Structure 1
Amino acid sequence: MKENKIKIAVNGGINYGAKLTAKQLMVLAKHLGDDEELELTTFQQLYVEIPEEKKEEIIAEFNEAGLHCYPVGNYVKSLRTCNFCKGSEEEGMPVAIELNNRIAGTPVPVTLRPAYTGCPVGCGEPLMNDIGVMKTRDTYSLYIGGKSKGNDASVGQLFKDKLSPEELYSVVEQLIDLYGRQGKKREQFHKFVKRVGNEALFEHIK
């Protein structure tokens, strides 16, 4: 009987760049057949197929090795980040980790890509993704509606700035919740933002 497999997304969590340890690579390799491959995405994730009946057991093993696992499909992806080259506290790594914990894996009409960068240089490419966060000094600016692909590619527009960490979490969670409830089937986030309009979005955000 053929074994049913499911695809999950895996990364090493939010740290100084997208890195994996030797132990993490060994754990991943343990669950790959000789002819199987890992798919590296542009969003700092690896896609790996695992037996569906052993899902919980394997994810627990991955977590024990320090790997973070996320569902694949119409969910909020894990936060794409910069390399925090100026340091954890200065560039807000704890805020990025908390934001990721709050939103990654949330069901949405179609895959939503959030990004974070710890300074105005923008290495995490926040303006080119659905939701982008940029830290400037001690506050955070939120950009929405970026689109990185196609001949109509465009940068995200500033939605709110000078946010505290708690304000940032609240606004992002409310935007994603609104998109989840009012977005049409297979409607990409940038199209949802354009259809609803910033003025209406502001009315829904407390």
Structure 2
Amino acid sequence: MQETQKKVKMAINGGITFGAKLNAKQLVTITEYMNDEDELELTTFQQLYIEVQESKVEEVEAKLREVGLSCYPVGNYVKSLRTCNFCKGSEEEGMPAAIELNNRIAGKPVPFTLRPAYTGCPVGCGEPLVNDIGVMKIKEGYHLYLGGKAKGKDAHVGTLFMENLTPEMLYKAVENILDIYAEYGKKREPFFKFLNRFGLENLRNLVAL
């Protein structure tokens, strides 16, 4: 009897650019690793989920990256940065800062799946106020919001934690926050519950810039 190889779920997307888009070459490459009966799951966080054989994860990731796709683990990790469409332009809406922030935090292990979001202007198309960590670019500075929740009867907007940050200050603050959550958060404790238990002021005192 042939042993069935274990499959693992992988999250992929087209990276941070103007809108959430995939080209034909990327789609063809994805389908190379799918059987006729396999399904491609589209999430609300600008990601696609596919299942691949565990033994081929590295091979598949390499092929997907060759065509410009980004790959992320699925589970209790920081998800890739959900963004707006940068409709006013890359520089004006801070696309380089969003790309760098995503490179630094996406895929980090945390107590429970954490959803960060980014938007390049006050319109808020990236929905930063209703995600765990939200960044909004206001003129030349970056505002950082924490603890938003988009779903459930207790849905609420996040709290403005810091404002008018430079890109470097933003990266450092978010990385410090994630390190603190990883150290002090309980297993499978959502980020907003961690904030309620740990306290924003305690967190503020530990986030050194």
TM-score, normalization by structure 2:
0.98
Render the CA deviation track for 1:52-81: whole Å, top value 9, x for unaligned: 111111110000010100000000000000
- Out of 1, 5, 25, the residue aligned to residue 27 of structure 2 is 25
In 2, Cα distance between the equivalents of 1:62 and 1:177?
A: 29
Q: Deviations over 1:100-121 (max 9, x none)?
A: 0000000000000000000000
* Unaligned stretches of 5+ residues in structure 2: none
* Partner residue of 2:51 out of 49, 52, 66: 49
Shift of 1:196: 1.1
| 1:156-171 pair list within 5 angstroms | 156-171=158-173
2:105 to 94, 103, 106: 103
Higher mean displacement: 68-77 or 51-60: 51-60
- 1:166-185 correspondence to structure 2 within 5 Å: 166-185=168-187
The residue type equivalent to 1:134 in the other structure is: M
| Aligned-residue offset at 1:190 | 0.4
Following the alignment from structure 2 to structure 1, what is the Cα–Cα distance between the partners of residues 200 and 33? Answer: 46
- Shift in Å at residue 197 of structure 1? 1.1
Aligned partner letter, 2:23: T
CA distance in 2, matches of 1:98, 1:66: 16
Q: Give, in whole Å, the separation in 2 of the partners of 1:189 and 1:73.
A: 14
**Residue matched to 1:78:** 80
Measured in 1, the distance between the counterparts of 2:189 and 2:61 equals: 30
Partner residue of 1:3?
A: 5
Return the match for 2:60 from 39, 58, 61: 58
Question: How far 1:127 sits from its partner (Å)?
Answer: 0.2
* SS of match in other structure, 1:185: coil
**Aligned-pair CA distance for 1:98:** 0.1
Q: Distance in 2 between matches of 1:17 and 1:128?
A: 20
Equivalent-residue separation in structure 2 for 1:187 and 1:5 (angstroms): 27
Question: May I ask how many residue pairs the two structures share in their alignment?
Answer: 206
Distance 1:188 1:54 in 2: 31
